[in-house]
A and B are shown apart, each in its own frame.
Chain A
Amino acid sequence: MSDAVQDYTTEVLDWRPFVTPVRLDEATPEQMEAMKITPANKKISDYVLTLAHDPESLLHRSPLFNGIMYGRDGLDRGSRELGAIGSSIVNRCIYCIAVHARHYNQATKTTEVVEEIFANETAAKLPEREQAIFDFAVKLSAFPPAATDEDMARLKAVGLDEVEILDLIMSTSIFGWANRLMHTLGEPVPLK
């Protein structure tokens, strides 16, 4: 059994559950529906098979997550990923960070922001716009949530409008959910 990945990375990782996932050949119709099993899509990850233990939650969260992260209009893709990264750094979800740091780098065609965050975590020094977004995400993700009206004012000062701010709040908050599943129900391992 390979050791869990402990350090920040943008590599593609695998995920190993701490509980026994649902077996596909034993899944109920509700679980099949929640996993979006179709004749064309039979390859299901252990993560989804683990979450299939609670099909009602999975059924609604999947479109919520996709709408928040990939929906059209509003905040640019990279900034939504930065909200996701802020939450994932606070909660130290190595798997989530790997996925969304990779997405951030792809969306922005840069690597410097991610490298700085990997080096200095919540104390990262970033360009003004990225700093305002990242700091807001980090503070909103704290326990208890600690973002203030000053943090909100900084978002407006770097040019975010109301819809974009709402998108940042949602992309950060949904990782308050995702991190608490991925980081607590299993662990990241190197891809086989």
Chain B
Amino acid sequence: MTELIETLVGDAFDDRLKQLPARRAELMALTEASRKAVLTPAEPGGLSHALRALIAVRASERLGDVRMKDHYYEHFTQCEDFYDLVGLVDADATSDDPWLQAVLDHADMLTCRPRTATKADINRLLAAGVGDADIVRLAELAAFLGYQARLVAGLRLMEMSR
């Protein structure tokens, strides 16, 4: 049914979902719509589709999720102008561009240690020239990835325990 389930959990779960009350399949469809809204939005603002995919690749690496990383790397290489960002695929790679590095640092914080977040993190983004709307877009993207990684991890556990 959805790319998320088939690719990251497996076909067997997709079949099983059809046996569950319809509400669960609707929630998976809304998850898929959300994935498109953060990865390939119609109005990307300052965060290009390639940059969003790059952030997803790096977050997947931080999360240690190889299947999710492969999935997003494939998606990344299909984005327009991905080549400009290909040197940053390694999660520890850094950019000389202060705007881009501020975005990547913030995405890392959101993925790995959101409990440490303070107003200073937002002020660093503003100082680097990241606008209010792009700050919210970045938060939505990284936060979605945090949701997706846990949803998928949980669904895999359900599959393993059958």
Contact = CB atoms under 8 A, between A and B. Distances in A.
B100 interface: no
B161 A60 contact: no
A27 to B, nearest CB: 12
A61 B144 CA distance: 9
Given A67-B30, A176-B143, A18 B114 contact: no
B150 A140 contact: yes
> In the complex, which range does the number of interface residues on chain B fall in?
35 or more
A53 B42 CA distance: 14
A185 B126 CA distance: 12
B23 A72 contact: yes
Interface string B29-69: 01101100110011101000000000000000011110000
B114 A184 contact: yes
Interface string B90-130: 00000000000000000001111111010101110010000
A140 B158 contact: no
B149 A145 contact: yes
Interface in A87-143: 90-93, 140-141, 143
Q: Name the prevailing secondary structure of the B interface residues.
A: helix
A149 B26 CA distance: 26
Contacts of B140: 51, 54, 57, 61, 181
Contacts of A179: 114, 143
Contacts of B123: 18
B160 A90 contact: no
A163 B20 contact: yes
A2 interface: no
A177 B35 CA distance: 12
B27 A54 contact: no
Given A67-B27, A169-B151, A18 B34 contact: no
B87 interface: no
Contacts of B38: 57
Contacts of A140: 150, 153-154
Contact of A19 (B26, B37, B136, B150): B136
B158 A152 contact: yes
Contact of A64 (B34, B62, B126, B135): B34
Given A152-B157, A187-B119, A181 B139 contact: yes
A180 B158 contact: no
A3 to B, nearest CB: 12
The 10 closest A-B CB pairs, nearest first, are A169-B154, A180-B143, A177-B147, A53-B136, A173-B150, A184-B117, A64-B30, A18-B122, A92-B115, A53-B133
Given A144-B65, A183-B114, 9 more contacts: A19-B132, A20-B132, A147-B153, A152-B158, A169-B150, A169-B154, A176-B147, A180-B143, A185-B136
